[in-house]
A and B are shown apart, each in its own frame.
Chain A
């Protein structure tokens, strides 16, 4: 079974631009969560999508948004990029929305650099 995939793997943008990142979950997984990883703040939860609906949201500004398609693929968008948005963006997929045996598996991440 193929793992979680993310595209692109690397991205360089300038301040003020917007960016869209893509995540394809493991086949059969319906939940996709997004995390931001930075040296200073560590791994922080952005949001989670399940059945094309945002189910949970972390403490990030509205510039960060996402969506999920009917095939469970998810995209996240960051508008009006700031230098502080430079980070590794990881998505994680799991089979269902919640439950005791619902492990999350991470993709390789997209490294975003904002200049």
Chain B
């Protein structure tokens, strides 16, 4: 099955700086890569996703890039704000399936 690795496990940035979280996957059959944000005590919320036919996607301060050849994808958050503080999970999904394989999460702390 798919194996997703995520780095770093913790990340602290000053408010206004950028944050980058990286993930790698093992199964070349994976074609969908969502990112979830989970605040303490709350459900994971889908914040952005990318499909394998696209190299980059942006939504306001959040962007995701995908390198299919290298099997890695990254989340970029610009102009970070304290409310961006949360645990972020990357995930991968194989073609024809619905279940997600998750990375181990990155705890992002934005220091005011």
List chain A positions with a Cβ less than 8 A from chain B: 4, 31, 33, 35, 42-45, 48, 50, 55-56, 58, 90, 92, 94, 97-98, 100, 102-109
CA distance A104 to B102 in the complex (A): 13
Q: Which of the 9-residue segments B63-71, B78-86, B91-99 touches chain A?
A: B91-99
Known contacts A45-B100, A56-B97, A56-B98; A103/B49 CB under 8 A: yes
Question: Complex: how many Å from CA A90 to CA B100?
Answer: 13
Asked whether B43 lies within 8 Å of A108 as measured between CB atoms, the reply is: yes
The answer on a CB contact under 8 Å between B51 and A100 is yes
Q: List the 5 shortest-distance A-B pairs measured between CB atoms, nearest first.
A: A43-B102, A45-B99, A106-B43, A106-B44, A108-B43
With both beta carbons as reference points, the residue of chain A lying nearest to B42 in the complex is identified as A108
Closest A residue to B96 by CB, please name it.
A98
Q: A42-B104, A100-B51 are in contact. Are A90 and B43 (CB under 8 A)?
A: yes
Q: Is B46 an interface residue (CB 8 A)?
A: yes
Classify the secondary structure of A's interface with B: strand
**Min CB gap A14→B, angstroms:** 24
Interchain pairs with CB closer than 8 A, number? 58
User: In the complex the two chains form, what is the Cα distance from A107 to B38 in whole Å?
Assistant: 12
Contact, CB under 8 Å: A94 / B98:
yes
Which residues on the B side are within 8 Å of A106 (C-beta)?
Answer: 36, 43-45
User: Separation in Å of the B106 CB from the closest CB of chain A?
Assistant: 11
Q: Once the chains bind, are A102 and B98 in contact (CB under 8 Å)?
A: yes
Chain A residue at minimal CB-CB distance from B32: A100
Instruction: Look across to chain A and name the residue whose beta carbon is closest to the beta carbon of B1.
Output: A59
Cross-interface CB contact of A42 among B31, B32, B42, B102, cutoff 8 Å = B102
Whether A48 touches B99, Cβ cut-off 8 Å, given contacts A90-B44, A100-B31, A100-B32, is yes
Q: Which residues of B contact A90 (CB under 8 A)?
A: 43-44
A98 and B43: CB pair below 8 A? no
Q: How far is the CA of A52 from the CA of B96 in the complex (A)?
A: 19
A residues near B43, Cβ cutoff 8 Å:
4, 90, 106-109
* B89 within 8 Å of A (CB atoms): yes
Question: Which of chain A's residues have a CB closer than 8 A to the CB of B100?
Answer: 33, 35, 43, 45, 92, 104
A49 to chain B minimum Cβ distance, whole angstroms, is 10
